[in-house]
Every structure is written in structure tokens, then in C-alpha cells.
Structure 1
Amino acid sequence: MMRVYACITQQHDLWLVLLAGAVCGFGAWVSLNLARRAAAAVGRARRGWLAGAATATGGGVWATHFIAMLAFRTSLPMGYDIGLTVLSSLIAIGGAAVGIRHAIGGGRLAAPLGGAIAGAAATAMHFTGMAALQVPANLQYDPAYVAVSLGLGVLLAGAGFTAALRIGSLKGLAAGATLLTLGICGLHFTGMGGVTLIPDPLHDLSDQIMEPGLLAVAIAATATVVMALGLAGAIVDQRLAARTAHEAARLRASEERFRQLADATTEGIVIHRDGVVLDVNRAMAELLGKPQADFIGRSMLRFVVQNRRSDIERKLAHPTSERVELDLLHDDGTLVMVEAHGQDITHEGRPARVVAVRDIRERKRAEERIRHMANHDLLTGLPNRSLFLDRLNGALTSAGRARTGVAVLYLDLDRFKAVNDLLGHPAGDRLLQEAARRMLEAVPSHDTVARLSGDEFAVLHRIAQPGEALALADRLVKALGAPAELDGQRMVVGASVGIALFPQDGSGAEALLQHADTALYRAKSEGRGTFRFFEAAMDERLQARRGLERDLRQALADGALSVHYQPLEDCRTHRVLGFEALVRWNHPERGMIPPSEFVPLAEESGLVMQLGEFVLRTACRDARSWPDPVKVAVNLSPVQFRHSDLPATILGILEEEGMAPHRLEIEVTEGVMIDDTERALAALTALKTAGVRIALDDFGTGYSSLSYLQKFTFDKLKIDRSFVQLMAENRESLSIIRTILALAKSLDIAVTAEGVETEEQRTLLKNESCNQLQGYLIGRPVPASELARFYEPA
């Protein structure tokens, strides 16, 4: 060690030694920096950086060696063999190229082995350069120093490359350059310490010797190249650093935008690698009620409900783009139903997968509501016809296998239409809801109560004996017959029930339901508020009724009905005062069907409004051609008065047909008052105020006729035909007629006697001062075309 120290301090110019060390350090920094660039590049760019790094490394080593040789002081004249000097530079550059290429090739030992190769090349260059020394002396080498110099070059170069290439920071580059500089300088001066010059005047010198001055020029040129490479590397470093900073800023901005977008979306986002969570957005954390940090680094399976984990684990092992529905676990233990789908991405330079997680709980609830709405009645919440038939089919199948029975009960609220018209649709809806509640209480929980339409309900009842169906029907009739409070009014509606049994009344769901409906019709026709079992004969009568209803509906649509008119005459002068409009139906198969048969059918089937409007409009249109004093009378059904717009409808028809209201006379029975007195009186008052005359028909046959005379001022009373037909033979009938005439006279109300068929009846009524007569004696109902004979043309 002292020998090397003495060599440096006593045999070398220290300023040049320092220059050599500086050149070596600068060259090492440049070469390792360029080697880093080569490692990061690919293709042609890598080859370019590799050439620059090799040149800087070899040139730096060569310049260091020969500057140090210029610093060497001896009394002997020195020169340098040109060929060997050039060869030494090639060895340094070529060896450096091989070492650097190996060092950046990849692998755990690549950097130290590559550095060792470069160090060995530097050692070879040193001793080649020593061989180029031309001096009249023999060079004697100490093997130990040669070995140490080789070891220093190889080991320190290997360590320097390792530090520079594996530690990516500036500190790594500085450490690597320092170690490489120590290695090169160490091998040079250790090698020089082991050389002894033995003067020999006879020593042969080369013919091509480079003078020290020329060598200095070559060294300066080499140093310039190294400096140029260092400057180029610095410029590139600066640009790359700026670009890297820009890319880093752009990446940070991009990541921030991605984070903002991810946090702004309502869908949860999870980034994972092999099922381990790398990142989640705010929506995902809120979805499961956990902080975002609780997700990071944990398996995705931890957040999946237990019974789906094996399935999701398989999907994680073999990912696809298909959408998957699954339940996740909220932090409070509740289940969160979601829809998830993912795709592959690159996250922080490595493959990963991003999964979008959508909360579908509200969608599932909406779908369930839709399914419920498709199978249930919205007002009552009861199953609808579709679901009822589905359950009935299932019950019939089970009953067939078990040889048990099934009862189908068809229910209809008896006075629902009256309540609906009286109190309005909201009250009617509440009545239906109350009826549904009562039925659910009366029917066993394992059976089904359904609303079929309007006020019609059905019950599916599983039975062992028919008596069980009878008991249930009795409970239902009693439950629905109990009073109900609606808008402060105590209402009694009641219900009728029809019953069909499986298997005796039918084997199919539709057949049983139809037969129960037939039995219901029988129950309603026999007084309502009761129940009836199906009988085969019922079906025939019901089919006939339904056929007649269908024909009536078609007749109204086709205009196949007609209006006939029966005259009313003045009892004293026998002059025709007007005509009563009477509807007629000439059925194409059955001939003339009496109004007493099809008018009640129209009332029950909801056709009476259409029928009444047809009669009124036809009567007004025909009456326009009659003399002005001649009036037309039209009967109105109690059902028509359930519609609040009846007065507006009548007055609208009068206006449309161009007939004065005073020429129209509306005939009503006391049934109009019984259904809803207040509503009926309001409608009659509106019509009377407009100029329409109001007549009370069938007077004397009801229970409250006199009380209605107190509540409303009628323009006319019509004595029922039953009294007129018996007045000649029955003293009581005549007395009743006299009483009615006296009452009407005192109230200043006109009276029409119906059913006058004989001259005797006409005479008696005339003697009793009756105002008007109507009946076959006066004239039978005839079409409008035959009325001219009853009056003088206008």
C-alpha cells in the first residue's frame, strides 16, 4: 500500500493525477448515466444509447490512463507506440460495450457481471497501454500488484454498475460513479506501483512513436468526446426529466379526474388484481357502509354473501364480461343486491380488473311491484282473475290426486252501484276495500280471495264436505251484510253468493267459475243477501238471459229498436194533448219482446243510460213535427237518476234536437225517490226549473207517495191502471180514485188515468172530473208515422 502511495506522490505530477481522477470521475458519471438510458430504451434507441455509453466508458478509462502516464516522472525519454495506443482504446471501448450490454440485459446478476466485464476490459486496456510505453528500459511487473489491480478493477466496476442500475435515484448514480472511479484509478495506480523500470540502452524501440505532446492532443480529443457525450446526456436528461415531470403531472391530473369521475358516479367501482382489492370509489364505500380504506388489500369474497362465494371465486378465476347479479354484505349485516360486470385494465403498470357495481335493490322492488300489479288488484291488494285461475287450477290438480273437494264461491255486492252513485267513486272504493278486509277475515288463510272486476269477488275454498262451503258462504253473507260507516253515513250493502263444487259441478277452473256465477245470478234474482248452489237448470236460464243481453246490446248499436207513441186526451173535449213514448224491440228471431222483459235487463246490465238516451232523443226528434201544444212524455228509470249528470244530458238533448223544454214531460216512479231522495229531488228540481214538466207515475201503488208530494211539486199524477180497471166493479178502487182526484185538485196538480179501455171507464172518470185519459180506448201505441190521425197537422 505504501509502495502505491509512494508511486503516486514521488513518481507522478500530483496536478495531473488530480486531472486524471477528475476525468475518470466525469467519465464514470457520464457512462453510467448513458447506461441507464440504454436500459430504459428499446430497439434502435437502445443501441444508440449503448454505443454512447460504451464510448464514454472506454474513452474515459483510456483518457484517465494516459493522463496518469503523462503525470509519470522519469529521467528516461518516453514515447508511445501508436498501434498499441490505438488498440488500447479499442479494447476499452469494446470491452465496455460488452459489459454494459450484459448489465442492462435483465436478470439478478446482470449488473454485477456486466460491471465486472467492463472492469476486466479496463484492466486489459491498462496493461495494453503500458505495453505501448516506449522507453529505453525493461518493464518488470510484480505479479501480486498485477493481481490486486485486476481485482480492484473487476470488483469495484461490478459494484458501481450494480449501484447505478439498481438504485434508480441520483444517489444510486453518484454511488455507482464513485465506485467505478475508484476501481479504474485503483487498478491504474496499483498496477503502476507494481512496475519497475530497468534502464537498458540497447532496448529496441518502436519505429512509430507518439510524442507526449501528440498524446496530450489525443487525450484532449477523447476528453472532449466524453464531455460531449456527457453534455448530450445532460440535455437528454433535462428533457426527459421535463417530459417525465409533465407526464407525471398529466398522470396525476388524469388520476385526479378519474378519481373525481369515479367518486361522482352513482355506481360502485372496484379495482382488483386476482381478487384482491386495490382501490374503490366513494359510491362503493357508501353502498356497503364502510370506509374506503377497509376495502384495500382485502379479498373481494369477504364482501360477498356466503352462499355465493364459491360461484364468485370461479368467476374471478375465469373472468368474463357478462353481467352477474349477487348479494353483497352491508356493514350492518343486511344484504345489498347488486349487478356487477368487469373488464381488464392496466393499473400502475400491471394487469388488473375494474368492476362496476350497480345497486339494483330499487329495480328489484319495482320488478316485484310490477309482478304484484300483474297478478293483484291495485285497489284491494287481492289476487286478480289471472292469479285466481292459476291457483284454482293448482288446487284442482291437487284435489284430483287427493280425491278431495274444492268450492268456488262467486260474490257480488248487492247495493254497491247505489252507494257508488250516491257517495261517489272514492266512497265506493273504500267500500270495496272494507268488503275485501271482511272477506279475508272470514276465509281460512290457506284459501284465496280474489277481486274479479267491479264489485265481483271469488273465493277458492278447499273442502272435504259440501257443508263446509255452505258454512263459509253463510259467514260471508253475514260479514258483508253488517253495516258500514262511509262518509258519516251508515250503509248496509249486503252480498249474494253463488257456489260451484268440484268435481260434481265441473272439472275445469273456467267451468267452475262460470257455474258459480250462474248460481250467483239465481241468488240475486231470489231476493239477494243469500247464497245458492249451482244446479244444471240454472245454466240454461242464465245462457238465455246472457243471449238476450247480447242481442239487446247489438240492437242498440245497430239502431234496431223503435219508439211507439200512445196518445193522451183531454177528458172533457177528447182532444189529444200529447203522447207517451214507449220503446219497442222487434227481435229478428223472437219477434216483439215486451219492455217488461228487456228494460229490467238493461238496468241490470248497465245499458239503461244508452237505452234511455235513445228513447229521449228519438221522441224529441219526432215531436218537432207535431203541433206546438202537443207534448211528449218519456219515462225515466231509477237507475238513470244515479248519474249526477242526468239533467245536463236531458237538457243537452233538447237543445241539440231543437225542442222547447215545456213540451217535454218526464215520468218517474217513487222508486226514483227510494234509491236516493236528495239526489233525485235535486235532479227533478233542475229539470223543472228549465221548464220540463214532471209527472209521478203509478201513483197510489207505493208506500210513501204522499210524503213525496210534500217534498216536490209535481205537474201531474198518473193513476195506476190497476185502480182504473176495477173501478166499475170495485167500490174501494173508485174511492181511491176519488181521493186521488180530490187531493190533486187541492194541490192544483193535473191527473192522468192510465189503462182506460171501455166507455164506462171513460164516463166514470169524466164524471169524477179527471183531467186526462190514456189507454187502448183512446189509442194503442203506434209508430210516429201513424200519429197524424190523432191531431190536426201543424
Structure 2
Amino acid sequence: MINVLGCIVNRHNPWLVIVAVLICGAGSWVTARLVRRAFATHGMQRAGWQFLAATTAAVAIWCTHFVAMLGYEPGVPVTFDPVLTIVSLLIALVGSFLGIFVACSGWTRATPAIGGALVGLAIALMHYTGMTAYRVEGIVMWNRPYLVVSIVFSVVFGALAFDQAARKPGAANIGGSVIGTRAQVATVAGLLATAIATLHFIGMCAFGIEPLAIDSHVANPAALEALALAVAGMAFIIAGAGLVSYLLDDSVRAESVEHLRTMALSDMLTGLPNRAGFNERLDTEVARTAAHGGKLALVGIDLNRFKDINDLRGHHAGDEVLRILALRFKSLVREDEFVARVGGDEFVALRRFSQRETLDDFLNRLETALFRPIRYDDWEVNSGASMGVAIYPDDATSKTVLINNADLAMYRAKADLTRSVCFYEPKMDETARARRSLAADLRDALSRGQLSVHYQVQTSIASGEICGYEALLRWEHPRQGFISPGVFIPLAEENGLILAIGAWVLREACSRAVTWQPPCKVAVNLSAVQFAHADLPSLVAEVLEQTGLPPSRLELELTESTIFADRERSLETLQRIKALGVSLALDDFGTGYSSLDTLRSFPFDKIKLDQSFVSEAESSRQATAIIRAVLALGKSLGIPVLAEGIETQDQFDLLAGEGCDEVQGFLLGRPVPLAQLVASGKLSLSGSPVSAAAAAAFAAGEVG
């Protein structure tokens, strides 16, 4: 080692040695980064990084050698053979390409080390070819031990460098240690620089000259230094180009990753964070609140009447409403505040706070944004929203429970028309558990015979005769008694049970009605979920065929909101039902949409006036006016009108005087089991097999 250092100090220009070392270090560092990228990519990208890495390595190898050679001071005239000099450069290029290609090939676990050894061998071959191109006036002598050692060092350190480059960050490396990416690059660069430097400087110690012409003219040192600096400058430019390409790719990759991350965490329609973005932010805010104290409010937001906007104005209008609300949210949020869209018309908001006034201010700003009218084209909408608030850690100590409690509070706000904001309360859990328990009981109610059909009479005003019965579903819970349809029907719709229950009601009503004397109509209600998801015409045709009920005796009732989700499909469905000979009734007319276009476009045979107008008719002039308008509309369109909810004689007389066709209500008869109608004499059963079975069931007390 002392001999090597002495050789460097005594025979080299120190400034050019420094330049050569800088070239070696910088070139090795850039090569290490490019080789690491080549190992991490595939296909054409890998080929591109292999090309850049090989070019940079060859420049570092050759320029280090050439600059150091120009700094070598043999004391005799010096020239260079141009052909062999160029050959030495080509050896560096070809050897680097071959070594890096083999190292990245992945043929065996040892290929990175083999490729590195090939690069080390190319360094040696390039060096000694370049030394052959070195022309001096003297006798060249070689120290074979130094020569062999230089080659061995170059091959070994080259193999170690590329084996290290092939390892993944965090894996065990040299000495069994675990290092990160930056340290790994530095290690690879150091090993490669050692391979280049040891080869050159040990090899130069193996090189000796016996001058033949002591007084001969020596080459101009200033010219050699200028040439060395020019070569060094080109080396730094090429290495810099490799580094810049790496950094540019790194920057583009980082920008692409960030862009993809932003897209993955953002809602494409509104630009707000989406559910994934919300979950990420919630994790951060919960951790921050737990670490630094304070409280975190989670606000669940659900728009009111948003479905009406989509149904009446189209989905493009609904999308525009969401975009406008998103712009309002973006303009109102401040530091420590966050709003995201997590569903169709569902938003969530987060706010860290220590004073309740801070949260109240945030909720007030959200409420203002949600309830301020929205203008779109030539119409104005005021959707409003229901907001449920749960607070961490007061109401929950985990993210899942916090979200669930905010949802419970939001559903409470939606059910309470007097409040738009509702805070979570522990008793809401009890309500939710009771609802889930009731849904579980409803799932088994049909198989356990707890569901039954009651019938309410429908009467013609003109003749006073019974013209039909409406089939109404009832549920007698074994512990809670009769459950209101207003409670269990929405529950069945939410849980997907309405399809099986609705089919059972239709089949039950038709099989009973076929035995009636006189043969009155039976009216069966259709759920919106049942209408949207089931192949209703096929079900109706199948039930009529199986029960033998004439189609003219079946009337299906549906509300206008049922058909608004998909008007074209709804029209096709209703036309297929009409083609069977079944009649259709528009239920709850006067509430909801009450569009005249619906009566014009859809084949309804009857209009059912909602009972809310009947109940207010005696005290409200507006209700009376609406009743008259609906009756006049029915007469002009040739569609009979049935009024629901008749409870007093005055109501009956009012409707009779206004020309109503049919009525239904407690005044005329409450919904009762079929057995009770038979017992009262209002209905008798025919002598058909079905009726005999039904009569036997009535006698045994099994029905109703």
C-alpha cells in the first residue's frame, strides 16, 4: 500500500489525480443509481436504463484512466497510439454493456456478481490496452505481482458492486447488515469506484520505464493538462446527463405517483376527497387527536329530496347540484376542517376542536351552504340536508364506531323534520339494535306464518255496492303484537325481503279472491323496490295462471314515485301488465309529483286520491279545492277516482256531492281478515276446491 501511494505521489500530477478521482467518484455514483433503476424495471425501460448505465460506467472508467495517464510524469517524451486509444474506449463501452446486461438478466442468483466481474474485467482490459497505446522513448517494464493484484481487485470489487446493486433495500447486505436505499447506492458507488481506482493506480505501480534518450524533448506538460481537463469536462458532462435523466425520470415518476394517488383519493365528479381519501384523513385526525388532545367531530351529511331532483330534472341536474355544493364546501373549509363525498348524495366532514363554539360555527357554515337555494338553468332548488354528529373520544374510541354513531345521528336527523343537525346519543344504539333485531325477526316471519293479508272494502258511491277489496299486509309479532306496515315495509325494502314478501302477498290475495262471491276485484299494492327489481309481468302472469283468477279481477296499485326511476322501463312494464288484462291504479295521488304527464303517458285505470286531502277537507279550503281539481281531472281524462281515508259521514257526503266515483275508509269498513268478511256475510266462498279448502281453514281457525 505504501508503494502504491508513493507511486501516485511521485509520478503523477496531483491536480490531475484529484480530477481523475472526482471523475471516478461522480461517474461511479451516477452509474450506481442508473444500475439500481435498471434492476428495478423491466422490458424496454430496463434496456434504456442499461444503456445509460453502461455509457456512464464506460465514460467513468475510460476518462478516469485517460486523465490519470495524462497526469503521469514518466520523464520522457510521451505520445498515444490513436487506434489503440479508441480501442480501449470501445472495450470499456462493450464490456460495460455486456456486464450490465448479464447482471440484470436474472438467469441465476449469481448473475449480478458475474456481470460485475465482467465489468471489472473490462476495466482491466481497457486499462492495459490503453497502456499499450502509451508510447514513450524508453523500455517498458511490468511488475507482474502488481499487475495480477490490480486485475483481481478490479474483478472482485466489480462483482461485489453489482451483487450489492441487485439486492432490495432492507435485505441483508455486506457483512449481514441491513441498509436503506441511499446507503445502498453509496455502497455500490464506493465499490465500483474502488474497482476502477485500484485497477488504475496499482496497475500504474506495475508500470516502469527505462529511458533511452535522457536529453530528448519532453512533451509539453501544459498541453497534456489542457487535454486532460477537456476529457474531464466531457466526462462530467456525460455523467451529468446520466444523472439528469435519472432525476427527471424520478421527478416524472413522483409526479405520476402523486397524480395517481390524488385520483385514487378524489371524487371525479366534485373534486372533493372520496371515501378512500376520507378514511385516510380520518385515521390521521384520530391519531392526532389522541396524541395532542382535544376532540374530533365527524359529521355525516345526507341530502334531502335529492332523488326528486334526479327524477324530475334528470341525473345531469343532480350532478350539477353536487358540483355546486362541492364548490361551496371548498370555499368554507378552513384549517383543521375537511369535507369529502363518500356516496351518491352523502358527504362527511371532520373538524378538530377544543371549544364547542368552534364546532357550532363549522356546523352553521355547513348548514348555510346546504340550505342556500341552488340555481340551475331556469329553475331553483333548495335541497337541504340532514346532519349527524359524533365526537371522538366522547362518543367513540375507534374509527369504526365513530362512523357508525355519526350515521345513527344522521338517520335520527332525517327522521326528525324539526331538526337538520342531530348529535349522537347512546340511546340511538338501542334503537338501531332494536331495528336490526326486528329485521331479523321479519326475515323469519313468512316461514313462521306470522304474516297475513287483511282486506278493506271499496265501495261505489253511485250504486252503494261493493266494487272490490284492497289487500293489506299485516304482521303479528309473537312478542310485540301487530307491527305497523309503516315500520316493517320500509324495513323489508331496506333488507331485500320485500321481493319474497310482495310475491307472497300477490299469490295469497289472488288465491283467496278466486273463491269470492260476488266476484269482486282485489287490489294489491306494489313496492317501488319490487317494481324496480322483479320481472313483475312474468310474476303476475304466473300467479294468475296458478290461481285461476281472471285478470280483470286484479288491480295493481303503485305510487308515481315508483315509476320515476326509469320511465321507459316503467312504461314497458306497465304496458305488459295491461296486456294481461290487469288494471292499474295510481295510488296516493296529490302528494309527491302528481304530474299530469304521468296520467297522459301511463295506462292507469284509476286514480286514488290521497287520504291527507280527505282528512283536511272539512277544515281547509285548499284541500277541498285540490279534491275538486283531481275529480275534474279524472272526469276529463275518463279515469275514475277513488278517495281514501273516509272516516266521517260529512266526508262521504262532500265527496259524493263533488262526483267522486269510489270511496274507501273506516266509515265503510276497516281492514279485516278474510274469515271475518265471510262471517259477516259480506263475502261468501264458491264451491270450488280452493274455496272448500279455504272454508275448512276458516272453520279450523287457521286463517286470519
TM-score by length of 2: 0.52
TM-fit CA distance, 1:442: 3.0
Q: What pairs with 1:165-244 in structure 2 (closer than 5 Å)?
A: none
**Alignment match, 1:312:** 188
Residue 274 to residue 544, structure 1, CA distance change in 2 (3 Å): same
- Mind listing any 5+ residue stretches in structure 2 that lack a counterpart? 1-42, 62-91, 102-121, 128-153, 166-180, 196-238, 689-704
SS in 2 for 1:597: helix
Rounded Cα–Cα distance in structure 2 between residues aligned with 1:483 and 1:732: 27
Aligned-residue CA RMSD in angstroms? 6.1
Taking structure 1 as reference, are residues 715 and 652 closer, same or farther at Cα in structure 2, changes over 3 Å only? same
Assess if the C-alpha contact under 8 Å between 1:568 and 1:774 holds in 2. Answer: yes
Match of 2:542 among 649, 652, 656: 656
Give the C-alpha shift of residue 593 in structure 1: 0.4
2:352 paired residue number: 462
Q: Which amino acid aligns with 2:186?
A: S
- Residues 281, 612 of structure 1: CA spacing in aligned structure 2 closer, same or farther, 3 A cutoff? farther
Partner of 1:596: 486
Structure 2 residue matching 1:472: 3-state secondary structure: helix
* TM-superposed deviation, 1:430: 7.0
- Structure 1 position 510 matched with structure 2 position 403: no
Distance 1:550 1:751, change over 3 A: same
- Gap regions ≥5 residues in structure 1: 1-261, 286-294, 320-327, 339-358
2:423 maps to which residue?
A: 533
Offset of residue 441 of structure 1: 3.8
> What is the correspondence of 1:743-762 to structure 2 with a 5 Å cutoff?
748-752=638-642, 754-755=644-645
For 1:312, give the aligned amino acid. V
Tell me the CA shift for residue 580 of structure 1.
Answer: 0.9
Partner of 1:333: 244
> In structure 2, what is the Cα distance between the partners aligned to 1:720 and 1:680?
22
Q: CA deviation at 1:651?
A: 1.8
Query: Residues 313 and 618 (structure 1 numbering): CA distance in 2 closer, same or farther, change over 3 Å?
Result: farther
Greater alpha carbon shift after TM alignment, 656-665 vs 736-745: 736-745
Which of 470, 479, 483 aligns to 1:580? It is 470
Task: Give the residue type in structure 1 aligned to 2:538.
Answer: G
Structure 1 residues 651 and 711: CA distance shift in structure 2, 3 A: closer
Aligned-pair distance for 1:333? 1.7
Q: Report how far residue 592 of structure 1 moved.
A: 1.1
SS at match of 1:662: helix
Q: Structure 1 residues 444 and 724 mapped into 2: Cα distance closer, same or farther (>3 Å)?
A: closer
Structure 1 distance, partners of 2:500, 2:310, is: 19
State how far apart, in whole Å, the 2-side matches of 1:390 and 1:736 are. Answer: 53
Q: How does 1:36-55 map to 2 (within 5 A)?
A: none
In structure 2, relative to structure 1, the CA distance for the partners of 1:721 and 1:490 (3 Å cut) is closer
Q: How does 1:248-259 map to 2 (within 5 A)?
A: none
Aligned equivalents of 1:729 and 1:585: distance in 2?
Answer: 34
Residues 400-428 of structure 1: CA distance to partner in whole angstroms, max 9, x if unpaired? Answer: 44332221111122234445566777876
Matched residue, 2:296 = 406
Q: What is the SS of the residue equivalent to 1:335?
A: helix
What residue number does 1:501 align with? 391
Change (3 A) 1:604 1:317: same
Letter in 2 for 1:666: L
- Deviations along 1:357-379, one digit per CA (max 9) or x if unpaired, are xx9997x9998899778877677
Asked if structure 2 preserves the Cα contact closer than 8 Å seen for 1:631 and 1:663, the reply is: yes
User: What is the CA–CA distance in structure 2 between the aligned matches of 1:306 and 1:330, rounded to whole Å?
Assistant: 20
Contact 1:576 1:791 in 2 (8 A): no
Amino acid at match of 1:655: A
Whether contact under 8 Å (1:728, 1:761) holds in the other structure is yes
Which letter maps to 2:415? S
Note the 1:661-680 alignment, pairs <5 A: 661-668=551-558
Structure of higher RCO (CA pairs closer than 8 Å, 6+ residues apart): 2
The 1:676–1:567 alpha-carbon spacing in structure 2 relative to 1, beyond 3 Å, is same
Quick one: distance in 2 between partners of 1:776 and 1:406? Answer: 52
Output the amino acid matched with 2:542.
E
Moved more, 306-315 or 677-686: 677-686
Deviations 1:512-559 (A, max 9, x none): 323322221232223389323334444444444454445445657988
Tell me the number of residue pairs that the alignment of Structure 1 and Structure 2 aligns. 495
Q: 1:430 to 1:716 in 2, by over 3 A?
A: closer
Query: Any idea what SS the aligned residue of 2:348 has?
Result: strand
TM-score (norm 1): 0.47
> Residue 329 of structure 2 corresponds to which residue in structure 1?
439
CA shift, 1:661, in A, is 4.7
Question: Is the CA contact 1:495–1:529 (under 8 Å) kept in the aligned structure 2?
Answer: no
Partner secondary structure for residue 586 of structure 1: strand
AA at the equivalent of 2:246: L
In terms of mean alpha carbon deviation, does 457-466 or 605-614 score higher?
605-614
1:395–1:335 CA distance, 2 compared to 1 (3 A): same
Q: Tell me if the contact between 2:460 and 2:661 (Cα under 8 Å) persists in the aligned partners.
A: yes
Q: CA–CA distance in 2 between the matches of 1:758 and 1:264?
A: 85
Question: For the structure 1 residues 264 and 538, does the alpha-carbon distance in structure 2 shift closer, same or farther, using more than 3 Å as the test?
Answer: closer
Deviations, residues 233-253 of structure 1 (Å, cap 9, x unaligned): xxxxxxxxxxxxxxxxxxxxx
State the distance in 1 between where 2:451 and 2:258 align: 50
Give the conservation status (yes or no) of the 8 Å contact 1:422–1:676. no
Q: Mapping of 1:575-724 within 5 angstroms? A: 576-601=466-491, 612=502, 615-616=505-506, 618-620=508-510, 622-623=512-513, 629-636=519-526, 643=532, 649-658=535-544, 661-668=551-558, 691-697=581-587, 714-718=604-608
SS of residue in 2 equivalent to 1:498: strand
